[in-house]
Amino acid sequence: MTITALPITAHPAVEGGLQLEVTNISPQTESIVSITLADPSGARLPSYVPGSHLVVQYGSGVNAYSLTGSGNGPTEYTISVLRVEDGAGGSVAMHQLGVGDRVYVSRPRSAFAPASTATHHLLIAAGIGITPVLSHARAAADRGTTSSLIYVYRPGAGAHVEEARDLLGPALTECSDRNSFQKVLAEQLMTQSLGTHLYVCGPVAFMDAVLDQARELGWPPARLHSEAFGAAELDDGEPFTVNLVRSGLKLDVPSGASLLETLEKAGKTIPNMCRKGICGECVLPVLRGTPQHRDLYLTDQEKAENTTMMCCVSRSEDPELELDL
Amino acid sequence: MCSASMPPAAGTGLEPGFRGVICASFGATGDTAGQHTGVQPRHDLRFKAANPEALSELRSVLERSHVGVRLVLAGPPADIRAAAAAAAECGLQQEELTLLSDETAPRVIYCPHCHATTTTVRPAGSEVQCRGCATSLATTDHFSRRMGAYLGYSAHAEEAS
Ligand code: FES
Ligand SMILES: [Zn+2]
């Protein structure tokens, strides 16, 4: 199936967005392709905050992809898509796009913004996690602040490696194995000036390891920024219990089942659309406990407040969560 | 958080890349000695007041240190507020900062008549005799970062005129 025409209707998650045309396709690796989108009339596109993502419709579904540019006065949007064979089909459909095809996209959304007071950005990426981090590196270069990047990828499977080398020069450290990465990471975490903020993107387990090590070395949460990746990469998660205070119900959320599914099974109707943490429809108020935020919708600050959560993807850090439901 | 067991580091001899606890105290006897830092290395700084020299020394110490460092500020409220602002400008985050505000710590009072400064342990609002010109000075809560002192004013100005 090739998507040559726009779907008849826009998915609600991209409503109020843009209709763009594919202007370039360039394979990055065997499984990663970069797709460039532009307004068919050549008009300038809305600027975006570095680290923003775009929700793109494929057929009847939607997916979120990080924008790789600096975001400053763009005439095109470029995203890179990793093909996930056993995913929901979005990435496979994206890989079949050709130049001239049209797609519905949302306006860019920011959930991984740079700290305005930072004077240096320590960027850490694994695999396809390079995409938002490249945006940060470009924006930092534009604004005249410095950045350095530790990029972990399997040999021969690194996207945007050449661009990263051009952009960062000696400030780029490439790692292909765990041990060398651990060494570089520990050393960098101990040698940063006080104006430094850390940004990490990659698989959840990778990010957790980086953030844990940073905390151990005395980095407070205000310096740490992370972006969880799309639903395809989310693991099953630990089981936990939710206490629905207003309904007087306690439910067990087993590993592998989402909180949203569990609530639906118990007869609750929760508004939802994308079911992958990007549209913001399934938000729930949290009364007690710390959610494990795995969505792309809430901002860093909203996540830190721990008063709301997106129940389609997010879980719990604590054995029990209390919800205002 | 700081401990008296470790002797204060000499002068500004802070090794580059310091990631321990910096304890800066303001006021003649205001100090962080009662605090203990546990096992973390500690660097002590003592200042009479948060004057420009003190703040620039604090800045240079922070510029040499690395993320992971913690800062403890002890002394009169206005001094530590001025020092906290300087630390924030260096990129220090709130969570990395502990303020030990001491309302009874000695304060430095600036005399507008003879420009001398007088140290007092009396609380704000009380009177102190200027050690320069013996004018009776009422102390204010107004701290001048430029002078590194609280501004005093002649307590009996109305009567004198
Ligand atoms: S349904 Fe879209 S964020 Fe949960
Ligand atoms: Zn005087």
Q: Within 6 Å (CB) of ligand 1, which residues are found? A: A 272-275, 277-282, 295, 297, 310, 312
What does the mean pLDDT of chain B come to? 82
More confident residue, A3 or A12: A12
Q: Does B2 have pLDDT greater than 60?
A: no
Q: Are A13 and A278 within 8 A, CB to CB?
A: yes
| B66 with A191: Cβ contact below 8 A | yes
A59: which 2 tokens?
Answer: 């057929």
Assigned domain for A280 exists: yes
- Beta strands A283-288 and A308-310 are antiparallel
* DSSP reduced 3-state for A237: coil
Do A266 and A301 belong to one domain? Answer: yes
Chain A hits for B65, CB-CB cut-off 8 Å, are 194
Note the pLDDT of residue A6. 63
A220 touches chain B (CB under 8 A): yes
In a domain? residue A45: yes
Q: Let me know whether A72 and A125 are in one domain.
A: no
pLDDT tens digit sequence for A147-173: 999 999 999 889 999 999 999 999 999
Ligand 2 midpoint to CA B75 (Å): 24
Q: pTM for the complete prediction?
A: 0.80
So what's the pLDDT on residue A228? 72
The enclosing domain of A252 has a CATH number of: 3.10.20.30
User: What's the pLDDT score for residue A3?
Assistant: 47
Q: Is the Cβ of A222 closer than 8 Å to some Cβ of chain B?
A: yes
Quick check: helix, strand or coil at residue B58?
helix
ipTM of the complex: 0.80
Query: A223 and A283 share a domain?
Result: no
- Assess whether A26 and A126 both reside in one domain: no
Q: For chain B, what is the radius of gyration of the CA atoms?
A: 17
Same-domain pairing of A281 and A248: yes
Q: Output the DSSP codes for A270-281.
A: ---SSSSSSS-T
Number of other CB atoms surrounding residue A43 within 10 Å:
9
Q: What is the pLDDT of residue A32?
A: 93
The tokens for B132 are 């320069």
Ligand with smallest separation from the Cα of A274: 1
Over 60: is that where the pLDDT of A84 sits? yes
A17-69 residue pLDDT tens: 999 999 999 999 999 999 999 999 999 999 999 999 998 988 777 888 999 99
Q: How many angstroms is it from B137 CA to the middle of ligand 2?
A: 8
Please report the pLDDT score of residue B37 as a whole number: 59
Statement to judge: residues A133 and A155 lie in one domain: yes
Reference A247, options A219, A222, A273, A266; nearest CA is: A266
Helix, strand, coil share (%) of chain A residues, nearest 5: 25, 30, 45
Out of A230, A257, A277, pick the residue that ends a domain.
A230
What integer is the mean pLDDT of A254-272? Answer: 92
Which positions 49-108 of B are in contact with A (Cβ < 8 Å)?
A: 62-63, 65-70, 90-96
pLDDT of residue B33: 53
Q: How far apart are CA B31 and CA B2, in angstroms?
A: 10
B6, pLDDT greater than 70: no
pLDDT of residue B133: 93
Mean pLDDT across the stretch A275-283? 86
Give the number of the atom of ligand 1 that is nearest the alpha carbon of residue A272: 1
Domain final residue pick, A58, A84, A110: A110
Q: How far, in Å, CA of B1 to CA of B43, rounded?
A: 12
Q: Which of A148, A160, A164 is nearest to A197 (CA)?
A: A148
Which of A189, A190, A222 lies closest to B95 in CB terms? A222
The residue among A265 and A230 whose pLDDT is bigger is A265
Q: Check if the beta carbon of residue A144 is closer than 8 Å to that of residue A120.
A: no
Which CA distances in Å does A6 have to A22, A93, A254, A262? 12, 13, 39, 34
State which of A273, A294, A308, A315 you would mutate to test the pocket of ligand 1, scoring each by most atoms of that ligand within 8 A of its C-beta: A273
**Residue ranges of E strands in A154-282:** 172-175, 196-201, 224-227, 240-244, 249-253
Token pair for B120: 């007092």
Residue with tokens 């972006």: A227
Q: Which of A106, A272, A296, A303 to mutate to test the pocket of ligand 1 (most atoms within 8 A of CB)?
A: A272
Q: What is the pLDDT of residue B139?
A: 80
Domain count, chain A: 3
For B62, name the nearest residue in chain A, comparing CA atoms only. Answer: A194
B79 or A172: which leads in pLDDT: A172
Between CA A29 and CA A27, with CA A279 as vertex, the angle to 5 degrees is 10
Minimum-distance CB partner of A218 among B68, B90, B91? B68
Rounded alpha-carbon distances, angstroms, from residue A2 to A7, A38, A62, A97, A244: 12, 19, 16, 7, 45
A315 part of a folded domain: yes
pLDDT tens digits, one per residue of A98-144: 999 999 999 998 888 999 889 999 999 999 999 999 999 999 999 88
In a domain, A186, yes or no: yes
How many Å apart are CA A48 and CA A50, to the nearest integer?
6
Name the helix (H) or strand (E) containing B158: helix B157-160
Q: What is the pLDDT of residues A180-236, one digit of tens each?
A: 999 999 999 999 999 999 999 988 889 989 999 999 999 999 999 988 764 445 678
Report if residue A115 sits inside a domain. no
Averaged pLDDT, B83-105: 91
Ligand 2 centroid–CA B46 distance in Å is 25
Whether the per-residue pLDDT at B160 is higher than 50: the answer is: no
Domain parsing of chain B, residue ranges:
4-101, 107-160
Residues A239 and A305 in one domain: yes
Q: How many other β-carbons are positioned within 10 Å of the β-carbon of residue A283?
A: 20
Q: Which one of A230, A254, A285 terminates a domain?
A: A230
- Do the beta carbons of residue A121 and residue A147 sit within 8 Å? yes
- What is the rounded CA–CA span in Å between residue B19 and residue A145? 23
Domain around A131:
120-230
Residue in chain B closest to A195 (alpha carbons) equals: B91
